[in-house]
């Protein structure tokens, strides 16, 4: 066997590093906030180039007025069937419009950014994609960023980009199916419904559950006392049962 050496490669013993705290307190009522929703779950418009499932640090721009039936998923590593049934299970775009209509939140950003975090290159997300998405959201005057991720490394990529948004002065929450990952990677705030990976934002076509998860996550952005706190949400869903 040929042995190779690469600088920075870890071996044998893994020493975890929890990133430094980032926390931007929300200073407005939710009803006056401009909200954006980003996702690492591989959502894109049907007419956009699909993500490369073996690792892709690019992002796609999604106008918030895109009809949900024009969105699709390209993501390996977890069962996509829920998102295929209802894209709101990962990216609850229809529910967000309903929350604006209801007056629960002030408004939505004009456009948002989605990526495929599975197997994602940590350095690229931290140094390039994350700051760029954060800057573009900030330029639109966004106050709150909600985020979902699909698989495990996807939760990591989701958390990295969310941290960039928090650093840029927005208040953010990761809606996590795998809360231990969001916690370890240093998500500013975490909500955790009891759902399978791939349906972070709630059971497909279950509008009351999706609305409740969004509302409680938004309230956690408002109420979370300090960095990296998790709120377990009382919504449970499993597929194939």
Using CB under 8 A, list all residues that contact another protein: 1, 4, 6, 9-14, 16, 53-55, 76-81, 118-119, 121-122, 151-156, 177-181, 183-185, 192, 194-198, 238, 240
What letter would DSSP give residue 184? H
- Are 48 and 100 in contact by the 8 Å Cβ rule? The answer is no
- Are 145 and 169 in contact by the 8 Å Cβ rule? The answer is no
**Cα 20 to Cα 189: distance, rounded to the nearest angstrom:** 14
Comparing CA positions, the residue from 143, 140, 180, 144 lying closest to residue 159 is 180
Q: How far apart are the first and last CA of the chain?
A: 47
Tokens of 11: 């071996």
Report DSSP letters for 103-157, one per residue.
TSSSEE-SEEEEEB-TT--HHHIIIIIHHHHHHHHHHTT--EEEEE--SHHHHHH
Q: What are phi and psi of 61, to 5 degrees?
A: -95, 125
Contacts of 63 (CB under 8 A, 6+ apart): 110, 111
């Amino acid at each position: 066997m040929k042995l190779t050496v690469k600088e920075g490669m870890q071996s044998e013993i893994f020493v975890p590093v929890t990133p430094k705290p980032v926390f931007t307190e929300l200073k407005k009522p939710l009803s006056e906030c401009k909200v954006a929703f980003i996702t690492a779950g591989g959502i894109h418009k049907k007419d956009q180039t699909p993500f490369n499932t073996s690792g892709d640090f690019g992002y796609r721009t999604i106008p918030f007025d895109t009809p949900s039936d024009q969105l699709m998923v390209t993501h390996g590593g977890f069962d996509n069937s829920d998102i295929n049934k209802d894209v709101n299970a990962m990216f609850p775009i229809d529910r967000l419009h309903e929350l604006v209509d209801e007056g629960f939140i002030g408004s939505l950003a004009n456009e948002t950014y989605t990526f495929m975090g599975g197997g994602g290159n940590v350095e690229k997300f931290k140094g390039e994609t994350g700051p760029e998405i954060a800057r573009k959201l900030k330029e639109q005057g966004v106050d709150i960023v909600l985020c979902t991720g699909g698989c495990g490394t996807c939760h990591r990529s989701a958390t990295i980009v969310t941290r960039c948004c928090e650093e840029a002065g927005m208040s953010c929450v990761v809606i996590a199916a795998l809360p231990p990952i969001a916690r370890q990677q240093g998500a500013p705030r975490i909500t955790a419904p009891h759902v399978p990976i791939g349906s972070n934002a709630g059971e497909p076509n279950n509008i009351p559950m999706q609305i409740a998860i969004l509302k409680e996550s938004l309230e956690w952005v408002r109420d979370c006392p300090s960095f990296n706190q998790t709120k377990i949400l009382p919504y449970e869903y499993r597929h194939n049962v």
